[in-house]
Amino acid sequence: MPELPEVETIRLGLQKYLIGHKIVSVQIRVPKIFIGSVKQVVGAKIIGLKRIGKGLIIELNNNFVLAVHLKMTGQLVYRDEKTKRLALSVKTGGEKLPSKYSHLILVLDNGAFLYYNDLRRFGWIKAIRKDQLMQMPFFKEMGPEPFKDLTLEKFKEIIFKSNLVIKILLMDQKRIGGIGNIYANDALFEAKIAPTRKVRSLSSEEIKKLYEAILDVLRKGLEYGGSSDENFVNALGQEGNYQNHTLVYGREKEPCKNCKTLIKKIKLGGRGTYYCPACQK
């Protein structure tokens, strides 16, 4: 489940290797993954990497971009002569790349490959004109992001405008960009707020605590190189480590890190939700 820290980890990795290189060819093995025309991409040079929420943008020098969404199990793995000796995580779906999950491959002018792997094939890569990118509903409707334009004031404003359950609000990309299930659960634990609370019931103190907790867990996610609980790997095919440091996510029936009460798992909006019934009020 690549969320903001995971996509940012990939972006930082790819940035080191892709910039300045020309795309020589595109191999499409699963057509539905790629939207647009290959012609708009082949021959273009990669000049930048951006992230918008959980979306990754590969900027080209011909007024086009490749917009990527990894959904649940997408990966972008770079391999060249120097990096191909690095051990690949088993999560890439095979010892060698391309694996049976490599649905799209970019070939670069230095002989390197960028593999798009996706076990469940939910993700997509779209070639689109730069000036049309922000017209795509997914990007156009993206809410403000932590570390970017989501100030505490803005966060309060968003909260006062809604009457959702807090965890649902945190994960709503149109309200706040980049937070998914892992970090929503952990931020609520850190702020000691029950995921089922209606946002209107939150005190301004609680909102502030939650705001800081969001920044804190996202920062930790980044520091640990993302969470590889599922299929996430970084740009070199290596796992992150946040999954070993989650506060409550994925810890059903394990003792709470504060009070040893067993972590509960419930469903909220159809999603797995973990919390400490004693600490989170």
Partner DNA sequence: GTGTTTGTTATCAA
Partner DNA sequence: CTTGATAACAAACA
Q: Which is nearer to DNA, 23 or 214 (CB)?
A: 214
Taking CB under 7 A as the criterion, which residues in 136-165 touch DNA? 137-138, 141, 161-165
Which of 22, 45, 50, 69 is the binder for DNA (CB under 7 A)? Answer: 69
CA distance 134 to 121: 24
Given 11, 51, 54, 251, the catalytic residue: 54
Taking CB under 7 A as the criterion, which residues in 100-129 touch DNA? 119-122
Which of 9, 181, 238, 243 is the binder for DNA (CB under 7 A)? Answer: 181
Which of 32, 81, 95, 205 is the binder for DNA (CB under 7 A)? Answer: 32
Interaction of residue 257 with DNA, rule CB under 7 A = no
Interaction of residue 168 with DNA, rule CB under 7 A = yes
Q: Is 271 a known active-site residue?
A: yes
The closest of 128, 106, 124 to 25, measured between CA atoms, is 106
Given 45, 230, 271, 277, the catalytic residue: 271
Of the candidate spans 40-48, 82-90, 144-152, 179-187, the one that interacts with DNA by CB under 7 A turns out to be: 179-187
Interaction of residue 253 with DNA, rule CB under 7 A = no
Interaction of residue 94 with DNA, rule CB under 7 A = no
Interaction of residue 192 with DNA, rule CB under 7 A = no
Q: Which is nearer to DNA, 33 or 235 (CB)?
A: 33
Tell me the C-alpha to C-alpha distance, in Å, between residue 172 and each of 111, 123, 138, 214, 248. 40, 18, 12, 14, 20
Which of 173, 238, 243, 280 is the binder for DNA (CB under 7 A)? Answer: 173
Q: Is 3 a known active-site residue?
A: yes
Output the furthest CA–CA distance in the chain (Å, rounded): 58
Residues that bind DNA (CB under 7 A): 1, 3, 32, 53-55, 69, 71-72, 119-122, 137-138, 141, 161-165, 168, 171, 173, 180-182, 267, 269-272
